Amino acid sequence: MYYFKTYPTFDVLGFHFGFSGGHAHAHIDRLLPVLVRALTSLNVMPERTLTTPEEFSQLIDQYKNIAIDGVEVACVRPQDETEQEKHYSGKKKTYAQIPRNLRL
């Protein structure tokens, strides 16, 4: 569970538990199916394959407590200008402006 909560490298994971990165990887490979079976049998396995808003709505109605974990993943920007236009909305990101008197 620690691995899935923090996603350390296998070397860091091995360091925390006293074995090599290779052994950490082997332990994750061996124990992941056990964790999946346990969570499935307890009916608490997270849903990760929602394809429609209706499926999401059904899950909200089915469960009292829902945790949504969103992660932004960087993508490689195409070098071709026409390909870039397909992936760019034209909107600029807005960030909170720091007042001049508070800047370091």
pTM for this prediction = 0.46
Please say if the pLDDT value at position 15 is more than 90.
yes
Tokens at 91, concatenated: 């909107």
- 66 or 20, greater pLDDT: 20
pLDDT digits (tens, 9 = 90+) for 36-70: 999 989 988 876 777 888 888 887 888 777 777 77
Residue 35 predicted with pLDDT over 70: yes
Each residue's pLDDT tens digit, 68-80 = 777 777 777 778 8
Q: Which of 35, 15, 33 is nearest to 24 (CA)?
A: 15
